Chain A
Amino acid sequence: MTMSIQCSGRPGRMAQAVLASLAVLALVGCGSTVKLDETPIESRTPKAIETSPGATASGNGAAGTSGTSAQSQVATVDLSKGGVASRGAAGSTGGATGAAAADGKLGRVVYFDYDSFGVKDDFRALIEGHAKVLAANKGKRVVIEGHTDERGGREYNLALGQKRADAVAKAMVLLGATEAQIEAVSFGKERPANEGHDEAAWAQNRRAEVKDR
């Protein structure tokens, strides 16, 4: 099988067909509403989150207050003490190529050119390999995390990273994986693989990582 998808930022034929169907959906969506709880959410709610009670008087700096709660009070939610493994929290940077344990020698990082979402030919084998694993095991799921370099706004970069992840996801679907097996997400510029500020670092940061769920 050959890679026929062109992910250059302009939608290819296939992508256009997908977009057309999305547009239909969107038109339907315009007049009606979608309930939030229809979303395919997995159990993502953090466990063991402690939230402080608001009605208690002695918040930050409010010692000695009785009865009335301070308007200046702010309660703290400390997620760092939750003890829940955030997916990809550890080992998300740099050495992801080495995380080949589950699927033999398959690499897990696809690198991109500046301002580009095009999946380069160098990564065809990697994507084909993951697609085959997914096609052969319909119960298997992966997350594809898109990343950008540090240049530019955080939100716009988040959307750019999403396009990179989507490009890899679409390529895998064309090669036999199903959409339900893949979630494309983005970290924008928030999780660089290399914290440097030069082109060498940026090149390592413009990437999409394939992670087992």
Chain B
Amino acid sequence: MLNPSHPIRSLLAAWWLAMLMVLALPAQAQFRVEISGIGATQLPIAITRFRDEDRSGVAISAIVRADLERSGAFRLAESSGALDERSQPQFADWRGRSADALLSGSVTRLADGRFDVRYKLWDVVKGEDLGGQSLPVAAGDLRLAAHRIADWVHEKLTGERGVNATRIAYVTRAANRYTLRITDADGEGGQTPVVSPQPIISPAWSPDGRRLAYVSFYNGKAEVVVQDVLTGEYRTVASFKGSNSAPAWSPDGKRLAVTLSRDGVSQIYLIDMEGGALRRLTNSNAIDTEAAFSPDGTQVYFVSDRGGGPQVYRVPVEGGTPERVTFQGVYNISPAISPDGRMLAYVNRGNGFRVMVMPLDGSAPPLAVTDTNDDESPSFSPNGRLIIYATRSQGRDVLMTTTLDGKIRTRLLSSGQDVREPAWGPFGR
């Protein structure tokens, strides 16, 4: 165990189920994606209702349709018809509806209570079977199965991996109640890992998507907590004198970079998640914070005001002399590195606070990708195509996504709550 002073609390309480229901309900359907742009080319696809999907309680085909439509790469053709994965479609009929591709399937309840979701995709133009799968899942994973089907179709037809099966963590504030939430990438399936009367900031997904690190003020100061999202087991991994904040996972999930003020001004340290050892990474007399690992794990990007105003720097993970990365402007914070390691997103203070994107090889200058003035906390989607960030709109804290060129932005709707601190989870679940 990392920290004997903070043993894992795993009390089984009788009321937990009722509590979960109370907490889970308000989270449903609070968070929808509104599309305000479309892709250049859209592939027409028909997606029929999956046989017996209504008996599962989850509208699988509707979720797949919405996922593919939201990606901007597809548009839906007229989709009525009773098919399943074993059908022999009349391709001429589907061509007549202007569909280039056709997806159908079925949902079957298994003896152990799980559901077998099967699907098949056809190329309507060529009259070809493009393959399919059988996904046996627990009832609680039917939505996930639908998202996986959407991602499979997306990859099969566009060559690029979809992010529908990923999840997003963020924090809502209503009065003095702070809630760390997780939703599917479509904003549905909202669940609640933590509710606290004190602020929660800086959630960070472990690379395997099983744990969230975050900063909790529950005990009257900033402490870094790591929580297993499935079981709710959590432990305080950094509670040194002063403030403990800004957790960032190494790509192998074995280390957590944190900002500590235990030795004076805020500096960056690495915690070994297995042995509990702590190593100081930066040594300056200025603020060093907001660590972010490069995807290959060799570099740690961070914010430092050692030069006066805050700028993004990077330092080898073994230590060494930091190298400055951002040069335009006097205030650049909150670095995020794209999954391929090539792009840096950060927040620049000019007239307002804006998300900027720049290639790390210096091949292009930083580009402002938003037109809002209160941007915070950019986080890349795991396929590197989108950035989610927090901003303010009409007096509320909201979340938005943008493409890396800033051309397509979407707003994630919430029902009247302030939403902030987004963190896009990894592939896989």
A residues in contact (CB < 8 Å) with B: 11, 16, 18-19, 22-23, 25-27, 29-30, 33-37, 39-41, 44-46, 49-55, 57-81, 86-89, 143, 151-156, 158-160, 162-163, 166, 183-188, 190-191
Contact = CB atoms under 8 A, between A and B. Distances in A.
A88 B334 CA distance: 28
A33 B276 CA distance: 9
9 contacts: A54-B233, A57-B138, A75-B232, A76-B194, A76-B232, A79-B197, A156-B289, A162-B261, A186-B221
Contacts of A62: 138-141
Interface stretch (B18-26, B63-71, B337-345, B362-370): B18-26
A26 B280 contact: yes
Interface stretch (B42-50, B151-159, B238-246): B238-246
Interface string B158-169: 000000000000
Interface in B377-416: 377
Contact of B217 (A55, A69, A190): A190
Closest 9 pairs between A and B when the two form their complex, measured CB to CB? A70-B140, A54-B231, A62-B140, A75-B232, A87-B220, A66-B113, A33-B277, A74-B191, A185-B221
Given A30-B279, A158-B222, A152 B353 contact: yes
**Most A CB within 10 A of own CB, among B4, B57, B241:** B241
Interface stretch (B8-16, B33-41, B117-125): B8-16
A154 B201 contact: yes
A93 to B, nearest CB: 10
A5 to B, nearest CB: 14
B324 interface: no
Given A70-B141, A72-B144, A74-B192, A22 B264 contact: yes
Given A58-B17, A64-B139, A156 B218 contact: no
Contact of A50 (B16, B201, B303): B16
Contact of B219 (A39, A46, A66, A156): A46
A37 B5 contact: yes
Contact of A54 (B197, B221, B230, B265): B230
B250 interface: no
A77 B376 contact: no
Given A53-B16, A166-B264, A39 B218 contact: no
A199 to B, nearest CB: 16
A19 B264 contact: yes
Given A30-B319, A86-B220, A187-B217, A44 B236 contact: yes
B234 A77 contact: yes
Contact of B20 (A34, A52, A166, A185): A52
B333 A59 contact: no
A67 B193 CA distance: 22
B195 A70 contact: no
A132 to B, nearest CB: 23
Interface residues of B, number: 105
A67 B9 contact: no
B310 interface: yes
B349 interface: yes
A80 B196 contact: yes
B139 A159 contact: no
A153 to B, nearest CB: 4
B107 interface: no
**Most B CB within 10 A of own CB, among A39, A46, A60, A183:** A60
A40 B238 CA distance: 11
B93 interface: no
Contact of B310 (A41, A52, A81, A156): A156
A80 B200 CA distance: 12
Given A86-B219, A190-B217, A22 B144 contact: no
Given A36-B2, A188-B222, 19 more contacts: A22-B264, A26-B263, A46-B219, A60-B20, A60-B24, A68-B112, A69-B138, A71-B140, A74-B182, A76-B191, A76-B192, A79-B218, A80-B195, A80-B197, A152-B331, A153-B347, A158-B289, A159-B266, A191-B199
Given A152-B353, A184-B242, A67 B230 contact: no
Contact of B234 (A27, A51, A64): A51
A186 B429 contact: no
A155 B290 contact: yes
Contacts of A76: 16, 19-20, 23-24, 191-195, 232
Given A35-B276, A154-B376, A63 B139 contact: yes
B271 interface: yes
Contacts of B196: 79-80
A185 B264 contact: no
